[in-house]
Amino acid sequence: MAEPLLLVNGVSKAFARPRRVQALRQVSLHVDAGDFVSIVGPSGCGKSTLFNIVAGILAPSAGDVALQGQADPDERRLRSGYMFQKDLLFPWRNVLDNAALGLEVAGVCSRREARERARGLLPRFGLEGFEAHHPAELSGGMRQRVALLRTLLLGRPLLLLDEPFASLDALTRRELQAWLRATWRSGSEAALLVTHDVREAVYLSDRVYVMSPRPGEIVAEVAVSRTGDAGLDALALARCEEQILAALHVEAAAP
């Protein structure tokens, strides 16, 4: 079998300050090329910590991570497109310049070329005609699309999405989920999403990992069977949701 794109093996993390906190315990998971995988877990269980470790920003206390076979944190950082919960757009930059920022900072190409590449993708991201607008003039959903465009433009193999829709209203979130399902492959080979929205995880993913409250451990792995590309068999999805909720509740009820 081919090596997975991302392999997380027995990762634990304890923070010493401001007080000792065991954030993650023995987390193992994998993401194959072509996969959309989600991690569902309660707030504070270490999801963002895990992402920071995968992206090479934070060192684990134990365990190891390989992304495209690379264990070196710098190599992993260069292979990850990380999108945060907050859109982190610069208010003084317009849509085009915000979208081009990632490429510009990465030094992949000139500012001019970065803007041209971003411009080419605006229609696909529903941002055509808005290139000169500033973040304050956009809806929350549009701002998240700019942030995602900036991330996908980097063309990193692994897309890391840390609760990208958490701050949006339910309707906008639905819209963006459908759109993300159709779009994420345009830049990356695989996606890993963190969310506490079980329905979102099932709707978007091929596979869902469930994490316990802190210290975060993987307590279940649920495969989402689909009957084709747009095959959202409502009954099968509902069963997956039930399985995930059961895993979350078992842990929540434990002493």
Expressed in angstroms, the distance from the first to the final Cα of the chain is 40
Q: Binding to ligand ADP by residue 49, rule CB under 6 A?
A: yes
DSSP secondary structure code for residue 140 in this structure:
H
Pairing of strands 158-162, 207-211: unpaired
Q: Please report how close the Cβ of residue 44 comes to ligand ADP at its closest, in angstroms.
A: 5
Choice between 153 and 198, CB closer to Mg ion: 198
Binding residues among 17-46 for ligand ADP as defined by CB under 6 A: 21, 23, 41, 43-46
Return the beta strands (E) in 118-237 as ranges: 158-162, 190-195, 207-211, 218-223
Helix, strand, coil % in the chain, rounded to nearest 5: 40, 25, 35
- Applying CB under 6 A, the site for ligand ADP has a residue count of 12
* Residues in a beta bridge with 216: 24
Q: Identify which of 208, 211, 190 has the alpha carbon closest to the alpha carbon of residue 24.
A: 211
Interaction between residue 61 and ligand ADP (CB under 6 A) = no
Strands (E), 78-145: 80-83
| C-alpha span between 33 and 70 (Å, rounded) | 15
Which is nearer to ligand ADP, 57 or 106 (by Cβ)? Answer: 57
Instruction: Give the shortest CB-41-to-ligand ADP separation in angstroms.
Output: 6
Judged by CB under 6 A, the chain residues 192 through 251 that form the site for ligand ADP are 214
Q: Which is nearer to ligand ADP, 58 or 236 (CB)?
A: 58
Nearest CB to Mg ion, comparing residues 100 and 194: 194
Exactly one of 48, 70, 167, 172 binds Mg ion (CB under 5 A); which one? 48
Residues that bind ligand ADP (CB under 6 A): 15, 21, 23, 41, 43-49, 214
